[in-house]
Amino acid sequence: MAIDDLTWIHAASYFGAGVSVGFGAIGAALGEGYTAGQASDILSYRPRMSGEILKTMLVGQAVAETAGIFALVVSMLLMFGELKGHHALEAWAYVGAGLAAGLSAIGSGIGAGFPAGAACQALGRQPSASGQITLNMLIGSSITQTPCIFGLVIAFLLMFIDYGAKPYYPYWAAFLGAGLSTGLAAIGPGYGGGLVGAGACRSLARNPEAQRPITTAMLVGIGTTQSTAIYGFLISLILLFKSFPESTSYVPSFALLGAGLAMGFGGIGPGIGEGITGYYALDQVGRVPEEATLLTRTMLVGQAVSESTGIYSLVVALLLVLNA
């Protein structure tokens, strides 16, 4: 039984829709659950502050939900959007779009829950600093959404790109690899960025006077955690827009798929690790603000070493792309 291209594309768009919202639902739910748990915990000590804590919890959860909503939007577009049906590559692009939007929502969803939970705890401990705590929570959770925005951008590019006269081999693997690279590499930075934000909120509750050094160290720490998401995004853009010659073998295809997997998985560890570093460093910045410079320096050295494997992955991914 022969199946025509349009049928494959149709099937792939539904598969991509399921993958997108399926993976995308993991992160937001876990992050929001964590926030609610922390809010309940502090409410048992401070029942009179229920209004304020509940408000902070809901604002924090709303930010964490962003990632899940992006995945939902992509999956709706895949289900009800118009299929072009000109080129068999479209099927792979839809699968890649689902993977990019879905996987990238995992880290950002979980990550955004950490600052929100820490902010609820911090409010209960230091109600007078509520303004600064909420501000730091919002900065932390919104920067944590960067990786899932990268995922959304790649998903849209994959859905609306002009397939033109691109050859089926090796572009099918380039599209799949582009989705996997940004999607997987976003998990670590999202998770890690959230940890840094949580450390900042915790630290503010201990020492609200040290707001300046805490916010500065937080921004530096979160910025570093996002680096591997940027590498993943970069590899996806290269896979999408570099022109590959048509090939008659499987070798270039699997090289491109390998590049996507190398950078995707390789971005997870450094992102989480740098986030753990930032969490502990931020905790101490609030305790001993006079040593903030020393702590920021040590944090950056530690994060740089943790980054190394992410850079190896980037190099291997680039070598694989050039080999194709």
Nearer to another protein, 53 or 272 (CB): 272
Closest CB 80 distance from another protein, rounded Å: 34
Residue 83 is classified by DSSP as: P
| Residue among 281, 163, 303 nearest 226 (CA) | 303
Q: Residues 6 or more apart from 320 whose CB is under 8 A from it?
A: 255, 256, 258, 259, 262
137 to 86, 238, 281, 294: CA distances (angstroms): 47, 34, 17, 24
Nearer to another protein, 52 or 283 (CB): 283
Nearer to another protein, 28 or 259 (CB): 259
Nearer to another protein, 72 or 87 (CB): 87
Read out DSSP for 123-149?
HHH-GGGHHHHHHHHHHHHHHHTHHHH
- Determine if residue 85 is left, alpha or beta; phi over 0 gives left, psi from -120 to 50 gives alpha, anything else beta: left
Closest CB 6 distance from another protein, rounded Å: 21
Nearer to another protein, 58 or 316 (CB): 316
- What distance in Å separates the CA atoms of residue 186 and residue 70, rounded to the nearest whole number? 14
Cα dihedral angle (62, 66, 68, 74), rounded to 10 degrees? Answer: 150
Chain contacts with another protein (rule: CB under 8 A): 169, 184, 188, 192, 248-251, 253-255, 257-281, 283-285, 287-288, 291, 294-295, 298-299, 301-303, 305-310, 312-313, 316-317, 319-320, 323
